[in-house]
Chain A
Amino acid sequence: MTERCLVLWCPDWPVRAAAEEAGIDEDLPIALVEHGAVHACSPAARAAGVQRGLKVREAQSRCAALVVLPLEPAVDARRFEPVLAALEEGIPSVQVVRPGLVVIRAAGPARFFGGEESAAGEALHLLAQAGAPGARAGIADGPFTAEQAARAADPILVVPPGRSADFLAPLPVTVLGLPTLAGLLARLGVRTLGGLAALPEGSVRDRFGPEGEIAHRVAAGLDPRRVLPRSVPDDRDRRQAFEPPLERIDEIAFTLKRTAEAFIADLAGDLLVCTALTVELTADDPSSASGQRGRRHRRTWLHPRSFTPLDVIDRVRWQLAAAELRAPVVEVLLHPEAVDEAANHEQGLWGGGPGERIHHALSRVQSLLGHEAVVTPILSGGRLVADRTAFAPWGEQRRPQRAPGAPWPGRLPGFSPTAVLGERPRVVVQDPAGRDVAVDERGAISGPPAILVTPGRAATRVEAWAGPWPIEERWWDAAAAVRLQRMQVACSDGTAWLLAHDDSGWWAEAKYD
């Protein structure tokens, strides 16, 4: 059963939007160009012989005064948004097919305004008031027929129920918007929708597949599509502009307090909590004229539970500290990236249990030292000891970058070192004769290690050693390539070391103590 649809069509909307955007008169001959061909043109240009699909040069030769503008769908949509909002004030549940063309289920407005024609008249009146005069309205069974009615209307055309097929019959098959199918049908001698509708349905399905079947039904006035009104999500973003721009983090945090509270309270009003938050900082651009925006810094923060206003301010603080904007901040935007039902995050009647307390205490430490200062370790994959553990700041998702379970040929067997030395301290390894031990290209050592000198400790005797074992990773990437020889040594003082040798000499990768 096809439903009655009201289609509102603003002719040449892209041209009008582009003209408004460029600040030129829309009565001039204007053409919108995409990929070197005319995509849309103004009535004046059309009168001069410009058509859709013409090459730009051809169009310009037909109309010397033609103003050529690029096609910008974003501009169309943006310019249409206020018009749509005004329309929705009077007639809700609007489906936007594209900027300038909307479909509305006709039954409701027709009942409300006392007839389909008066509903269409009311819609056109609303559009004209909102800055889109000269629109057309068509009412028919199904969105396709209604659109064709709107294109034929002046300014309103109502196709009575059940008469769609008769209305569509004389129209050419090209209006289906399926160029391949239309070309094929034309060659078969089927030039009108009436002709297509007259073909047996089974034959059309066999010859043209599902696409042809739908086209056949549409041509017969049995458009199966339904109107899917858009649902507008509420705008929950909160902005705080600073005038004059602020430089100090604590000033910004203090000023932001009420905004953060309003941001969370707004969500709480709809029984929602924010679990992921995007903070966008906009810095002032001192080099440009006033009103210009400077650098932006965007980052998304996750929360293991849900954000409170204080958490929001903490995240802004940390981001300000890390962002290196190098200019005062003019605006902070808070955007809820993910929300959840508040019921899932309610605290228990007797407090939140141990997890809640731990989280609060760790968050306080983070407020003191910074977000990255409190971490939880995750096992990761790799051959070097430092690669085998990753750290996630408290409150962020713990996800290893590399599979820890994968075979990593070349990783050390036996104990993992208890101390992973990140800063690669230089060490001296000597053989019994007191010469530095060297490792050659082929992995042979010049002599058995006997003495190990590590920073901050006296020289110790090497009691046992094993290796060297080569590691060669990512040789195809000069920046990330690793090429070294590793060796384990056990010293007389009870400690053991994992040493690495590369072009720069010996260094300690890790320590067993």
Chain B
Amino acid sequence: MSRIEDVFDTGRVPAAARSETVASLQARIAAMQSRSLGTRSLPTAAAVAPLLPGRALRSGVAYAAPGSLALAMLLLAGPSAAGAWCGVVGIPEFGAEAAAELGVVLDRLVLVPDPGEHWLAVTAQLTEVLPIVLVRPPAKGASPAETARLASRLRQRDATLLVAGPWSGAEATLETTGGTWTGIGAGWGYLAGRELDVAVTAREIRSRHRLRIETGFRLPAAPAAAAGPRLVAG
């Protein structure tokens, strides 16, 4: 009986510690559960796959990647190389050449650089037909109602939204926390490689990753054949 007493003896376990335990247990349950049934996963570049819950981009959900455009481009690269059309909304400075180097096929890329106040309508319109859309909301952001409406639209259309900024209700938030450059020194060399520190928050679980990208890297045209040894994530 002593064990039962232990459990019911509220005096032994402090209230704060107990709620912490409950929270962590809940988080573990959430992490093991899929949020929705039957979501399809998209072809994902091997470099970024380990960062994502389920090791792949999923359709019908939103991902937030504030900070690094290179990371967002890598996320686009997988579906694009596999034949999907991609849309980019509200990023006038989007470097198409860099995107092409990271594996985005420009023939299937559509940009709406300055949608202005219509950014949400344009994004919704594009998610109707394009399987993956990258959007940067203006500073004001979207209201919770608008976010919810867009989320239900994504589910309906089986489209994936990448947000270059914060987004409530994102499947995962891939935040760039820093990085280092290689190939360049004090007055010599050039930017030849980089390591990107990415903090991933997915379903209340935080993990840290380091992504290495090197110059001359090009994703093969075929989605298979692995992304090559030169791009390592871990």
Q: Which residues of A contact B (CB under 8 A)?
A: 354, 357-358, 360-362, 364-365, 368-369, 373-379, 385, 388-389, 391, 394, 412-422, 448, 463-466, 488, 490, 493-494, 496, 510-513
Contact = CB atoms under 8 A, between A and B. Distances in A.
Contacts of A510: 95
Q: Which of A357, A377, A422 has the most CB of B within 10 A?
A: A377
Given A414-B183, A496-B191, 6 more contacts: A379-B96, A413-B192, A422-B93, A464-B184, A466-B189, A510-B95
A494 B196 contact: yes
A420 B115 CA distance: 18
Contacts of B196: 494
Interface stretch (B24-32, B39-47, B62-70, B223-231): B62-70
Nearest to A364: B125
A379 B125 contact: no
26 contacts: A354-B85, A358-B85, A358-B129, A361-B126, A361-B130, A369-B118, A373-B112, A375-B112, A378-B106, A389-B95, A389-B97, A415-B194, A416-B95, A416-B101, A417-B95, A418-B68, A419-B93, A419-B94, A419-B95, A420-B95, A464-B186, A466-B189, A494-B176, A494-B180, A512-B194, A513-B69
A376 B190 CA distance: 29
Contacts of A379: 96-97, 100, 106
A377 B96 contact: yes
B111 A513 contact: no
Interface residues of B, number: 55
Nearest to A356: B129
What are the 9 A-B residue pairs with the smallest beta carbon separation, nearest first? A377-B96, A494-B179, A416-B98, A490-B181, A418-B69, A416-B97, A419-B93, A361-B129, A494-B178
Interface of B: 67-70, 73, 85, 92-101, 106-107, 109-116, 118, 121-122, 125-126, 128-130, 176-181, 183-192, 194, 196-197, 213, 215
Q: Which of B129, B189, B213 has the most CB of A within 10 A?
A: B129
A463 to B, nearest CB: 8
A512 B191 CA distance: 9
Contact of B98 (A364, A418, A488): A418
A512 B183 CA distance: 14
A379 B73 CA distance: 16
B188 A365 contact: no
Per DSSP, chain B at the interface is mixed
Per DSSP, chain A at the interface is mixed
A488 B191 contact: yes
Nearest to B213: A415
Contact of B215 (A358, A375, A413): A413
B85 A388 contact: no
B110 A362 contact: yes
B215 A415 contact: yes
B194 to A, nearest CB: 7
A362 B112 CA distance: 10
